[in-house]
Amino acid sequence: MEKHEFERLRAIFLKAFASVPDPLRDEIIAVIDGKPFSWSAAYLEVKKGTAKAHAILEQLKKNNVIE
Protein backbone atom coordinates (compact mmCIF):
# COMPACT_ATOMS: atom_id res chain seq x y z
CA MET A 1 0.00 0.00 0.00
CA GLU A 2 1.32 3.41 -0.92
CA LYS A 3 1.99 5.92 1.84
CA HIS A 4 -0.72 8.27 0.54
CA GLU A 5 -3.33 5.51 0.61
CA PHE A 6 -2.21 4.37 4.08
CA GLU A 7 -2.53 7.91 5.45
CA ARG A 8 -5.97 8.32 3.86
CA LEU A 9 -7.27 5.03 5.28
CA ARG A 10 -5.60 5.76 8.63
CA ALA A 11 -7.47 9.07 8.92
CA ILE A 12 -10.76 7.39 8.04
CA PHE A 13 -10.15 4.62 10.57
CA LEU A 14 -9.25 7.03 13.37
CA LYS A 15 -12.38 9.07 12.71
CA ALA A 16 -14.51 5.91 12.71
CA PHE A 17 -12.86 4.63 15.88
CA ALA A 18 -13.75 7.85 17.71
CA SER A 19 -17.44 7.18 17.09
CA VAL A 20 -17.39 3.51 18.17
CA PRO A 21 -19.08 3.15 21.57
CA ASP A 22 -16.83 1.82 24.35
CA PRO A 23 -18.67 -1.51 24.73
CA LEU A 24 -18.12 -2.30 21.03
CA ARG A 25 -14.39 -1.56 21.05
CA ASP A 26 -13.70 -5.13 22.20
CA GLU A 27 -15.45 -6.57 19.13
CA ILE A 28 -13.20 -8.27 16.56
CA ILE A 29 -13.00 -6.36 13.28
CA ALA A 30 -10.07 -8.06 11.53
CA VAL A 31 -8.05 -11.27 11.57
CA ILE A 32 -4.43 -10.92 10.45
CA ASP A 33 -2.17 -13.98 10.27
CA GLY A 34 -4.70 -15.91 12.35
CA LYS A 35 -4.71 -13.31 15.12
CA PRO A 36 -7.96 -11.44 15.86
CA PHE A 37 -7.88 -7.66 16.27
CA SER A 38 -10.56 -5.72 18.12
CA TRP A 39 -11.26 -2.07 17.44
CA SER A 40 -8.97 -1.21 20.37
CA ALA A 41 -6.11 -3.45 19.26
CA ALA A 42 -6.42 -2.21 15.69
CA TYR A 43 -6.36 1.36 16.96
CA LEU A 44 -3.02 0.79 18.70
CA GLU A 45 -1.50 -0.74 15.55
CA VAL A 46 -2.83 2.03 13.30
CA LYS A 47 -1.64 4.78 15.65
CA LYS A 48 1.87 3.28 15.60
CA GLY A 49 1.79 2.77 11.81
CA THR A 50 2.99 -0.83 12.04
CA ALA A 51 3.09 -3.41 9.26
CA LYS A 52 0.04 -5.01 10.86
CA ALA A 53 -1.72 -1.65 10.60
CA HIS A 54 -1.32 -1.81 6.84
CA ALA A 55 -2.83 -5.30 6.75
CA ILE A 56 -5.68 -4.29 9.07
CA LEU A 57 -6.55 -1.25 6.98
CA GLU A 58 -6.42 -3.28 3.76
CA GLN A 59 -8.76 -5.89 5.25
CA LEU A 60 -11.17 -3.25 6.55
CA LYS A 61 -11.22 -1.60 3.13
CA LYS A 62 -11.77 -4.95 1.40
CA ASN A 63 -14.69 -5.70 3.75
CA ASN A 64 -16.16 -2.19 3.24
CA VAL A 65 -15.76 -1.21 6.89
CA ILE A 66 -13.82 1.84 5.70
CA GLU A 67 -13.52 3.25 2.21
What is the number of structural domains in the chain?
1
Residue 67 in any domain: the answer is no
Q: Would you give the distance in Å from CA 28 to the centre of its chain?
A: 11
pTM above 0.85, yes or no: yes
Full residue range of the structural domain in which residue 32 is found: 3-62
Distances (CA, A) of 40 to 1, 4, 20, 62: 22, 23, 10, 20
The dihedral of CA 30, 34, 38, 43: what is its sign? negative
* pLDDT score, position 17: 97
Residue 1 has pLDDT above 90, yes or no: no
What is the per-residue pLDDT across 29-57, written as a single tens digit (0 to 9) for each?
A: 999 999 999 999 999 999 999 999 999 99
